[in-house]
């Protein structure tokens, strides 16, 4: 699977859009600060660690997770990832700010979470349907990323290694849901990949295919289209892509 990464140090990068079309992306020249890693190529930016200690203990890992887990820090992120399970794969395209999260599910649906007031809405890309939610539990949506906060002390086989050009921390965790293998990026504060061998369902794989930290993201990405009638769907309790999301 081809992997790509863009790391920007000094210059501004801005995501812009018209009519909520997330495919319209503009970026500026980074004065040679941009690094791309494809496949197993090595990334050599000073923003991505290239020389790290192999050893890491549970106390160090717990401290890293507490300070730098996904959705607890102040960053703007654009990433794409695949979720696979039960013979199907869903491709996700996500934009996240400290206040909002927008995810394009495959090519058929957009889901927007408003982190500040815990509301959400979704609509089909063909604009045939729109719904809004009065409350949601985002920690439940991203349970395998946030589970490390509570269970960092129970992680085993910790080590630092490389994953497709990214420096990551590998670890394993057993709990009531099954066996979790993960590759966590301290730089991005997210698992770049995880595999869950569930005791209840089937093996689920999450894998980031591209990720970048941006200086800003166009607020229009998180606004409702004005040509869709939205219906109240109550509380949001399910998963973004059904059972395959873990």
Which pLDDT belongs to residue 118? 83
Q: How confident is the model at residue 150 (pLDDT cuts 50, 70, 90)?
A: confident
Task: Quickly state the pLDDT bin for 22 (edges 50, 70, 90).
Answer: very low
Is the per-residue pLDDT at 47 higher than 60? no
Confidence of residue 117 (pLDDT cuts 50, 70, 90): confident
The Cα–Cα gap between 144 and 53 comes to 25
Question: Which of 2-16, 160-174, 185-199, 225-239 has the highest mean predicted lDDT (pLDDT)?
Answer: 160-174
Distance from C-alpha of 7 to C-alpha of 16, rounded to nearest angstrom:
18
pLDDT for residue 126? 93
Mean pLDDT of 89-103: 92
The whole-angstrom distance between residue 140's C-alpha and the CA centroid of its chain comes to 14
In which region does residue 157 sit, left (phi positive, over 0), alpha (psi from -120 to 50) or beta (all else)? left
User: Residue 109's pLDDT is what?
Assistant: 94
Residues in the chain: 246
Query: Residue 184 — pLDDT band, cuts 50, 70, 90?
Result: very high
Contacts with 219 (C-beta within 8 Å, 6 or more apart), sequence order: none
Q: Angle 101-235-116 (CA atoms, 0-180°, nearest 5)?
A: 35
Mean pLDDT along residues 16-44 = 36
pLDDT band at 74 (very low <50, low <70, confident <90, very high): confident
Asked whether the predicted pLDDT for residue 31 surpasses 90, the reply is no
For residues 147 and 145, give the distance between their C-alpha atoms in angstroms, rounded to a whole number: 6
Question: 54-245: CATH homologous superfamily?
Answer: Lipoprotein localisation LolA/LolB/LppX (2.50.20.10)
Confidence category of residue 53, pLDDT binned at 50, 70, 90: low
pLDDT of res. 141: 61
| Max mean pLDDT range (20-29, 167-176, 231-240) | 167-176
Split at pLDDT 50, 70, 90, the class of 236 is low
Contact between 50 and 41 (Cβ < 8 Å): no
What are the extents of the domains in the chain?
54-245
> In this predicted structure, what is the pLDDT of residue 237?
57
What pTM did the predictor assign? 0.70
Q: What is the dihedral of CA 149, 155, 160, 165, to 10 degrees?
A: -60
Q: How many CB atoms lie within 10 A of CB 52?
A: 14
What local confidence, expressed as pLDDT, does residue 95 receive? Answer: 94
């Amino acid at each position: 699977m081809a992997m790509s990464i863009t790391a920007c140090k000094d210059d501004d990068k801005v995501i812009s859009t018209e009519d909520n079309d997330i495919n319209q992306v503009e970026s500026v020249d980074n004065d040679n600060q941009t690094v791309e890693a494809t496949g197993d190529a090595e990334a050599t930016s000073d923003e991505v660690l290239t020389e790290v200690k192999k050893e890491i203990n549970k106390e160090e890992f717990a401290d890293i997770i507490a300070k730098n887990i996904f959705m607890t820090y102040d960053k703007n992120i654009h990433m794409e990832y695949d979720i696979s399970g039960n013979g199907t794969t869903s491709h996700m395209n996500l934009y996240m700010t400290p206040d909002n999260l927008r995810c394009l599910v495959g090519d058929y649906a957009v889901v927007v979470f408003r982190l500040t007031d815990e509301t959400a809405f979704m609509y089909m890309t063909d604009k045939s349907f729109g719904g809004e939610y009065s409350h949601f539990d985002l920690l439940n949506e991203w349970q395998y990323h946030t589970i490390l906060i509570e269970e960092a002390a129970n992680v085993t086989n910790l080590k630092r290694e490389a994953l497709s050009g990214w420096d990551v921390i590998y670890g394993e965790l057993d709990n009531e849901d099954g066996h979790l293998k993960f590759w966590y990026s301290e730089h991005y504060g997210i698992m770049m990949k995880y595999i869950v061998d569930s005791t209840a369902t089937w093996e689920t794989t999450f894998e980031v295919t591209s990720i970048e930290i941006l200086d800003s993201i166009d607020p229009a990405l998180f606004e409702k289209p004005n040509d869709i009638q939205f219906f109240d769907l109550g509380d949001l309790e399910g998963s973004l892509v059904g059972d395959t999301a873990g």
